[in-house]
Amino acid sequence: MNPKIIVLDDDPTGSQTVHSCLLLTRWDVATLKTALADAAPLFFVLTNTRGMDATRAAEITREVCINLKAALADYAGPVLFVSRSDSTLRGHYPVETDVMNEVLGPFDATLLTPAFFEGGRITRDSTHYLVVDGTPVPTHETEFARDSVFGYTTAFLPDYVAEKTAGRVAAKDVARLTLTDLRAGKAGIWLASLANNAIGVVDGESPDDYRSFADAVLKAAADGKRLLFRSAASLLTALAKLPSQPVAAEAFASLVRDGRPGAVVVGSHVAKTTAQLTQLLKERGVVGLPLDVTRLPAGRAAAVDELTASIVHAHAKGLTPVVFTSRSELQFASIAERLAFGEAVSATLMDVVKRLPGTLGFLISKGGITSNDVLSTGLELITSRVLGQILPGVTVVQTPADHRLPQLPVVIFPGNVGGDGALAEAYRRLAPSRAQASPAKLAT
């Protein structure tokens, strides 16, 4: 019996390489038991902890783990636990894995598997790279390493572990599975050697590398090895061993409600998102509706009223509104202040989502934390099911039939995935006839 793969996802984009599984925005014991009984080999608990400070992230992770422990009390099969986080090494590590080990452990090992092949993230000789225009760039040389909350100075994973654990785990004590050993079939021997919550890092340059590693992991788990992963999305694909997704990437327009126009909500402010937004706003059939974040939090109610009215007007004209936050990143005196302001911006966007018109045909959410809030707060979903990917690394879920916007296709588009034209391409795949129509302007 293959283990059930239980993923605690710090934003909702970890499902970007799988399909047919449940995403949970609630984690009470009954909901967790429903997911354990589901036919899919894995499910995701969307904790959204990347949008929180470390203390709150630990509290939420602990709450989920305590409930998981209760839900698993009468579950007969083996399980694998995954702390899914960003493929550019941002997130609350080791906070979340420490809590998981304390509540759900002890584990034989905690393994870092950050490669995300669909997004051009690979790990070679224990160094993590982002492939830019065909050239691997160590991630500590990218904008992601300069994140004001989750920054780091090295992409060599043993040193990264030492840095993030403040020396609690020395770099020399981190076990390494290199490409040479992995491709020589030594993953099983390596896994068998790990004990007492050893920390390990795993190379991977291609899906075949992770498929080989996943085979060894599944065998080790079946033999009783207890493993915890801090992982990006690609390992999940290898572990789940799913067939092709039921809806082809080019066919998602068939799920758009009555062929109607949709809406796009853009919260992410990384440079890649800004470039993608610029291309989307050039498409026919869309109209840009900016949210000036400098008006917040005091002007929140007025901003929501104005955006809601503009969205309704756009739909009456057959247009897809693109709601986006102003692009410049503001400066704050502290991390806590920055996170609090981010919550105010998200709350404003979610008030807009709650008031989206019943004429909505589809919804695209751009940004990990934004997407989590769209599912849990804006659409008020307890669960949703992943249909597959509309583009590599870009997931589509669907609301249930009893929702106020029933069977609405919702695109979860990570902030740091895709080329400059990817967001526009996702729009064209959902609204091909509107994207080809003559351009129209929204009257003011």
Q: What is the pLDDT of residues 103-147, one digit of tens each?
A: 999 999 999 999 999 889 999 999 999 999 899 999 999 999 999
Give the pair of three-digit tokens for residue 308.
Answer: 């809601």
pLDDT reported for residue 328: 63
Q: Which residue has the tokens 């909901």?
A: 31
Q: What is the pTM of this model?
A: 0.84
Each residue's pLDDT tens digit, 326-345 = 856 666 777 777 777 778 88
- Angstrom distance (rounded) from CA 167 to CA 173: 11
pLDDT reported for residue 438: 44
8 A C-beta contact, residue 349 and residue 378: yes
Bridge partner list, 119: none
Provide CB contacts within 8 A for 162, sequence distance 6+.
169, 170, 171, 174
8 A C-beta contact, residue 390 and residue 345: no
Cα separations in angstroms, 368 against 84, 248, 315, 379: 12, 23, 26, 15
Alpha carbon 191 to its chain's center: 27
pLDDT reported for residue 297: 78
Bridge partner list, 22: 43, 385
Q: Which residue has the tokens 């929204």?
A: 442
Three-class secondary structure assignment of the chain:
CCCEEEEEECCHHHHCCCCCCEEECCCCHHHHHHHHHCCCCEEEEECCHHHCCHHHHHHHHHHHHHHHHHHHHHCCCCEEEEEECCCCCCCCCCHHHHHHHHHHCCCCEEEEECCEHHHCEEEECCEEEEEECCEEEEHHHCHHHHCCCCCCCCCEHHHHHHHHCCCCCCHHHCEEECHHHHHCCCHHHHHHCCCCCEEEEECECCHHHHHHHHHHHHHHHHCCCCEEEEECCHHHHHHHCCCCCCCCHHHHHHHCHHHCCCEEEECCCCHHHHHHHHHHCCCCCEEEEEECHHHCCCCHHHHHHHHHHHHHHHHHCCCEEEEEECCCCCCCCCHHHHHHHHHHHHHHHHHHHHCCCCCCCCEEEECHHHHHHHHHHHCCCCEEEEEEEEECCEEEEECCCCCCCCCCEEEEECCCCCCCCHHHHHHHHHCHHHHHCCCCCCCC
8 A C-beta contact, residue 89 and residue 53: no
Q: How many CB atoms lie within 10 A of CB 357?
A: 15
Q: Which one, of 166, 139, 5, 20, lies nearest residue 79 by Cα?
A: 5
Q: Which one, of 394, 397, 391, lies nearest residue 375 by Cα?
A: 397
pLDDT in 10s for each residue of the chain, 444 residues: 789 999 999 988 888 889 999 999 999 999 999 999 999 999 999 998 998 899 999 999 999 999 999 999 999 888 999 999 999 999 999 999 999 999 999 999 999 999 999 889 999 999 999 999 899 999 999 999 999 899 999 999 999 999 999 999 999 999 999 999 999 999 999 999 999 999 999 999 999 999 999 999 999 998 999 999 999 999 999 999 988 899 999 999 999 999 999 999 998 777 888 899 999 999 999 999 998 888 877 888 999 999 999 999 999 999 999 999 885 666 677 777 777 777 888 889 999 999 999 999 999 999 888 888 899 999 999 989 999 999 988 999 999 899 999 999 999 998 878 899 999 999 999 997 766 654 445 443
Q: Which one, of 205, 201, 204, lies nearest residue 176 by Cα?
A: 201
pLDDT reported for residue 444: 38
Alpha carbon 161 to its chain's center: 22
Cα separations in angstroms, 235 against 194, 240, 400, 418: 19, 9, 28, 19
